[in-house]
Amino acid sequence: MLYELLMPFADFGFMRRALMGCIAISLSAAPLGVFMLLRRMTLVGDALSHAILPGVAVGYLLSGMSLVAMGAGGFIAGLAVALLSGLVSQRTALKEDASFAGFYLGSLALGVTLVSVRGSNADLLHVLFGSVLAIDGASLLQIGAICSFSLLALAVIFRALVIASFDITFLRVGAGRWQLPVHVLFLGLVVLNLVAGFQVLGTLMSVGLLVLPATCARFWSNSLSGLIAIAVITGILSSLIGLEWSFYAHLPAGPAIVLTAALAFCFSVCFGRCGGIFRA
């Protein structure tokens, strides 16, 4: 029984690389997802996952299926949308969520158009939905470098993020000059993780391992450390089970991973010990 469960990873290198990539993303993206949940920014993450598409498309037009070029373009585009949305919300009466919605819808349409200009439907599907089983050694190293940097940067701003999540007034009064840099760096880390996730799950579903594990954790713990630990574990288990499921049921791997995380969310909503429907 145990051999049957581990057989795909023992016998096939592409399955091991896919799992390692998903684990790396879970380790760095899940803690960011927890802070996005606490700051009520989960839909911002979804908007940013679409916003990186034009940059990915420009990288594709310039260099073909070069993950470095596409990742760099996606990071620049996502960060630009985040900064522009914040600027518009500050200078106008429009709220930040509405500003993000306007920019990300335009970005999504522009990205799909740019990819379609030069590429085929297969290229468009690869960009939108990823190809987790096609991760090679170079891609895995890039994902690992991004996730390692993200964890180090998160450690630097961790205390400020905790304060911003629970007492934004204190941050504004006690260290007002740090509020904007911390927020911008946090958004930058979110975009960076979405860029890493796009290589695995595509631009449309890269937000899955960012948001879903964090929302699951909310139903199982009320402490910050517990939320982060449960979110990371949920992301890793969703990746493992999703890859197993896709292998034996002949399903696309990326959607299987996100669907597994979504099923974990539904289970948590129903039976979570911290506010679950049947445990309230």
Residue 159 lies in a domain: yes
- Domain housing 108: 2-271
Residue 279 lies in a domain: no
Q: Are 34 and 231 in contact (CB under 8 A)?
A: yes
Q: How many domains does the chain have?
A: 1
Residue 280 lies in a domain: no
pLDDT at 124: 65
pLDDT at 97: 67
What are the 10-residue block averages of pLDDT along the chain, 280 residues in total? Answer: 66 86 92 90 79 82 76 85 79 72 79 74 67 80 90 90 71 60 85 84 82 93 92 94 88 88 94 83
Q: pTM of this prediction? A: 0.87
pLDDT at 28: 92
Residue 278 lies in a domain: no
Name, in order, each residue with C-beta under 8 angstroms of 149's C-beta and a sequence gap of 6 or more: 192
Residue 183 lies in a domain: yes
Residue 277 lies in a domain: no
Residue 276 lies in a domain: no
CATH code for position 68 = 1.10.3470.10
What is the dihedral sign for C-alpha 98, 102, 105, 107?
negative
Can you tell me which residue has the tokens 């085929």?
A: 120
pLDDT at 4: 62
